[in-house]
Structure 1
Amino acid sequence: MGKLVFVLLAALALSAGPAAAQAPPAGRSPNPAGVLLANLFNNYWDDRARLFPLLAMAQGDNRYNDRLPNDQTRAFRQQQQRLYRRYLNDLLNIDRARLSAEDKLSYDIFQYDMRTRLDGLRLDLWMLPFAQFNSVPSVLGVLGGGSSAQPFRTVRDYDNWLARVGRFPVWADSAIANFRLGMKAAVVLPRVLVLRTVPQLQAFVTSDATKSPFYGPVARFPADFSAADKARLTVAYQEAIQTDLVPTYRKLADFLQTEYLPQARTSTGFSDVPGGADMYRYQVRLMTTTDRSPDAIYQTGLAEVKRIRTELEALKKRVGFRGPLPAFFTYLNSNPRFTPYQSPDEVLNAFRAIQNKIAPNLAKAFSRGPRAAFEIRQTEAFRAATAPPEYSRGTPDGTRPGIFYVPILDATKFNVTQGMESIFLHEAIPGHHYQLSLQQENTSLPKFRRFASYPAFSEGWALYCESLGPELGLFKDPYQRIGALGDEMHRALRLVVDIGLNAKGMTREQAIDYLMANEPISEPEATAEVERYLALPGQALAYKVGAMKIQELRARYEKQLGDKFDERAFHDEILAGGSMPLAVLERRMDAWAVRQR
């Protein structure tokens, strides 16, 4: 499952039940405050698994695989509020001063998490149930195919899925009710997003159950299933597709097409809806884990665009192109030499060649790598049109590997100058695969940290990893270096365009033009990017904000430590603590630097 398909499934690996608090070493008395904190974390993790069973499943806890909670109801939101308030109050009753240094770090992260979640529940974001990203309907399509997080290994697994999708019609009715309340309050999606979402839903509508993506598990029954179980489940899955799934997807698509679309906004960003400014400021804080204002981040974006554009101009001259930068972008997008592939397998094999190229050099930058297996796969056809290249982490028990998904709509148009090497460093190795796998493999962390995902940390780390290309044996081809600079430019442009759209009155058309003027991107690609910023406001800010913080910390410690600075130790320390808010990361790394001296 891609991180943009369903944000809640970005974290992984729960145990089958609440863990016991760790016992102190023999001969030592337990720290009462530490024991209280460990018990609080364990209890919270178990309560959250029951409240968010899809998230629990993605984290390896399969106890609730038959459930699909109706998270579109007021009662569910109130349940969340009670949970977060109770655990925040319990946390504040623990004496932080009596905790160990590592427990203090966990205390601070947990407090930040509870307060941030409560702040989000005060806003009317629930009036926008889904769009083309972060969509439960899309997630079910991925899960139901049989090759993702939802297990299909036993008869019970198959029955669990039937029970789960049996709850989808009620979820959809509640989502439609929330859309309607949003219509009354003028809190509605932009029209362009509705037009993108309807075809996604219609793709699941079929009169032949065997042609449905949800028929995949039936087509791949485990060999040890009895004939009777296969026959029963085949009939049950056909009925579920025909009576629960297809009618629900049709109902959602028809509602959005006929009732919602006429009232959707012709404007773009959050600033155009009641309460939208507060919603957007919250999204910026949530995604960057900082209190920086949108305007300050916008100014950073403008400065970074100017800097990177200067580097692109220099590379353009190096490869002998004499025209202006926009003409160079057109050349990169149109010259047949840059689209050499004839099949999806050729594209996937090109990425596998990149993996082989960096493999011998990883030890220069990291003292250890993850145990988790890794695969490169083509993105499923039903979501490839709107999906970016993306990583889906595996499970700690190895039953599912980490997967780098590559959307390939037409292999003959797959352009090698679009940063293939930098994309691999970011989405795969050592970017998301190293960070997410090492984090969940670190059993010394409390579970809420082992499986946490703060976008500015995770995406910032992955973007930082793109800068490691030269020492890992990449970017020797100047056009791959141009692609890498294009990727960095893309993240800088996001600071300008995301904020411009959602807080400064920039139109969709102006945003598309701005992207195309500053990076080698086609109009359809620029359009898809802009619509992503409308569907996931603030998310695109996380990359550059996080990467610049990591680069700032590295430069600081290189200056402070001189010859004592060890790149591998720096990377290992960042990854050892797992994902966390940037301010907490800075305190942790400053303490590390002191120890190095």
Structure 2
Amino acid sequence: MHKCFISCLLLLSLSACQLNPSISPTSVTKNDITSAPTAANPQLASLIDKAWQLRLESSPDLAYAQGDTTAAGKLADMSPEALATINSKEQALLDSLKLIDKSSLAKEDKINAQILQYQLQNSVDLYRYKDHYLPISAESGFHAYIASIAKGRFNTEQDYQNYIAKLTALPQYFAQQTYWLKQGLNSGITPAKITLNGFENSISAFIVPVEKSGYFEPFTHYPKHFSDEQKQQFTEQGKQLVSNTVLPTYRAYFDFMTKEYIPGARNTIAASDLPDGREFYENRVRYYTTLNMTAEQVHELGLKEVKRIREEMQTVINQVGFKGDFAAFLNFLRTDPQFYPKTPEELLKEAAYIAKKADAMLPKYFGKLPRMPYGIQPVPAEIAPKYTTGRYSGSNRADEPGYYWVNTYALDKRPLYEMEALTLHEAVPGHHLQISLNQELTSLPNFRRYSYISAFGEGWGLYSEFLGLEAGFYQDPYSNFGRLTYEMWRAARLVVDSGMHAKGWSRQQALDFMASNTALSMHNVTTEIDRYISWPGQALSYKIGELTIKRLRKKAELALGEQFDIRAFHDAILANGSVPMELLEQQIDDFIKRQNNKS
């Protein structure tokens, strides 16, 4: 579940909505924004445009990033009426789309129709399963993601007026989300209580003196052209709003969560224990794999992959001459200080060094590279304790890059031997490269340029870790073990996610399985298992996508022989943006045909 992630991750991690460089938010009006380029089939073109306009209407941040200046001072409307209206319109679009004869469509229109149907069906499904009752997860929630409004553009007086309007609207936004949390309490649709241990800390992190609040930060510095009078006026307004509006809102939310919500959250962990839970989880399996797989098939595949990777890990243990069994080696990796950074700066510098090495490998493996660069930042402190080890945070502005986030919290739980695999996955050739290229595909309609299909994106990220092996990374055997433990991590996900949500596994059973098969620190094991509990199915994307890409590469290598070009193959994988696995296979089949015709 967790619809909040779908919108928040558009900005904060996986499928970040980057501002189209050809559009200036100061000069484009709402009527100028279209889903261009237009599909050849008029009926499909109309549906694509309506779906895109609906997405813009429901996401002011995306609308503003796309040039709609009227959305600049708005927050998303999460009221029952607004969500019901969106659902009704999406259902109508989906029904109309299903009536189109797909066999009569041109090739590109078939792809557009299939991806649009995939997106609309998911939105309709999530509403039916009451995903909007869960705007929080084990990692964080709406209260942390909404704070990104303080990171926006502050160049003009109007920018500050827009920000003030958002701050003024914050209590209503929290009230709307709290309404859905209460509906969840009443119907048994909540995160598992065990995953909410310490959740209140992610709220209290925002309850600070006004001058230390991230919401006040925009009022501490101004553009040079602002007069002293303007600065004083906005500073006073900012202090009043943060003091009298923002902080009371967070205090009330903290009280609600600690006194009512967390104590009332469900004691079970499985998605199958939710209303219509078994059906819901199988739906999530199909959505996140983009294949017609069942939970049982995923589980068996996971066990097979765990066995294979475990044998490779043992080879590395033998290589370093370690005297002891597998469990002893894992304990050695988790406890020996040589493997851990001493300061946040050391960890960030290591990430930066690896990232620069990764930049240098790109021309050898890719014919087309993105224009947008990326930077490296620590995970924001307020969410770091329960956050994953690293993530890609994209940009929704043309004048700001994407960022590779590195978690610098609990340094004794952030082993350096994992950093090569993490960096290749989150930065390049992983998420930054793939997402940035996706957004630069101006030949695609916007609903595809600014979207993210998890099996494709996460599969590509995991494949990127493997690609590093060919590119000369993992020369140190411990780093290679880190790569294998990351691969094992993703394989174990298939087992524990399906185990907990479909096969009756306990949380402790999942923790033990992950801990006994990977070198992840126990802190990371715990945060990851709680993430899978509160985000059913998403963890399946990685291995399924990676295995598909590897299989397609082998297929192309066998078919093309000496004509196989790794740069051309990677360009072909990324050529149509984020697509379901079935479509990816079709485009690689087309690639093979084109390459054969050249010879």
Matched letter for residue 265 of structure 2: A
> Do 1:59 and 1:451's aligned partners in 2 also have CA atoms closer than 8 Å?
no
Classify 1:202/1:4 alpha carbon distance in 2 versus 1 (closer, same or farther; 3 Å): farther
Classify 1:185/1:541 alpha carbon distance in 2 versus 1 (closer, same or farther; 3 Å): same
Match for residue 18 of structure 1 among 7, 15, 33? 33
Measured in 1, the distance between the counterparts of 2:432 and 2:61 equals: 21
TM alignment of 1:557-596, pairs within 5 A: 557-596=556-595
1:27 aligns with none
2:361 aligns with 361
Measured in 2, the distance between the counterparts of 1:123 and 1:387 equals: 26
Identity %: 35
1:240 aligns with 241
2:223 aligns with 222
2:164 aligns with 162
What's the CA shift string for 1:72-114, capped at 9, x where partnerless? x331222112321333345456554454322221122112222
Matched letter for residue 544 of structure 1: K
Pair 1:52-2:62 in alignment: no
Structure 2 counterpart SS, 1:579 = coil
Matched letter for residue 297 of structure 2: A
Measured in 2, the distance between the counterparts of 1:572 and 1:329 equals: 38
TM alignment of 1:289-300, pairs within 5 A: 289-300=290-301
Match for residue 143 of structure 1 among 124, 135, 149? 149
2:332 aligns with 331
- Stretch deviating more after TM superposition (249-258 or 183-192): 183-192
Q: Shift of the alpha carbon at 1:57? A: 4.3
2:71 aligns with 64
Alignment size in residue pairs = 579
Q: Shift of the alpha carbon at 1:284? A: 2.1
Structure 1 counterpart SS, 2:197 = helix
TM normalised by structure 1 equals 0.92
| CA RMSD of superposed structures (Å) | 2.3
What's the CA shift string for 1:284-316, capped at 9, x where partnerless? 222222221111101111111111011101100
Unaligned runs of 5+ in 1: 24-30
Measured in 2, the distance between the counterparts of 1:74 and 1:168 equals: 17
> Do 1:454 and 1:580's aligned partners in 2 also have CA atoms closer than 8 Å?
yes
1:28 aligns with none
Q: Highest relative contact order (Cα 8 Å, sep 6+), 1 or 2?
A: 2
What's the CA shift string for 1:139-160, capped at 9, x where partnerless? 122332x2xxx32222212221
Q: Shift of the alpha carbon at 1:596? A: 1.9
What's the CA shift string for 1:141-192, capped at 9, x where partnerless? 2332x2xxx3222221222122123222122223323222222222232112
> Do 1:188 and 1:265's aligned partners in 2 also have CA atoms closer than 8 Å?
yes
TM alignment of 1:485-500, pairs within 5 A: 485-500=484-499
Classify 1:521/1:550 alpha carbon distance in 2 versus 1 (closer, same or farther; 3 Å): same
Measured in 1, the distance between the counterparts of 2:286 and 2:69 equals: 32
Matched letter for residue 358 of structure 2: I
What's the CA shift string for 1:494-540, capped at 9, x where partnerless? 11111112222211122111111111122222111111112211111
Match for residue 93 of structure 2 among 71, 87, 96? 87
> Do 2:365 and 2:566's aligned partners in 1 also have CA atoms closer than 8 Å?
yes
Structure 2 counterpart SS, 1:592 = helix
> Do 1:297 and 1:495's aligned partners in 2 also have CA atoms closer than 8 Å?
yes
- Stretch deviating more after TM superposition (458-467 or 382-391): 382-391
2:509 aligns with 510
Classify 1:177/1:20 alpha carbon distance in 2 versus 1 (closer, same or farther; 3 Å): closer
Q: Shift of the alpha carbon at 1:557? A: 1.6
Classify 1:21/1:410 alpha carbon distance in 2 versus 1 (closer, same or farther; 3 Å): closer
Unaligned runs of 5+ in 2: none
Pair 1:539-2:546 in alignment: no
Classify 1:267/1:47 alpha carbon distance in 2 versus 1 (closer, same or farther; 3 Å): closer
- Stretch deviating more after TM superposition (100-109 or 364-373): 100-109
Q: Shift of the alpha carbon at 1:334? A: 1.4
Measured in 2, the distance between the counterparts of 1:416 and 1:236 equals: 45
Classify 1:441/1:34 alpha carbon distance in 2 versus 1 (closer, same or farther; 3 Å): same
Classify 1:60/1:328 alpha carbon distance in 2 versus 1 (closer, same or farther; 3 Å): farther
Classify 1:261/1:584 alpha carbon distance in 2 versus 1 (closer, same or farther; 3 Å): same
- Stretch deviating more after TM superposition (539-548 or 346-355): 346-355
Structure 2 counterpart SS, 1:159 = helix
Classify 1:282/1:451 alpha carbon distance in 2 versus 1 (closer, same or farther; 3 Å): same
2:432 aligns with 433
Match for residue 185 of structure 1 among 170, 184, 187? 187
Q: Shift of the alpha carbon at 1:438? A: 0.6
TM normalised by structure 2 equals 0.91
2:271 aligns with 270
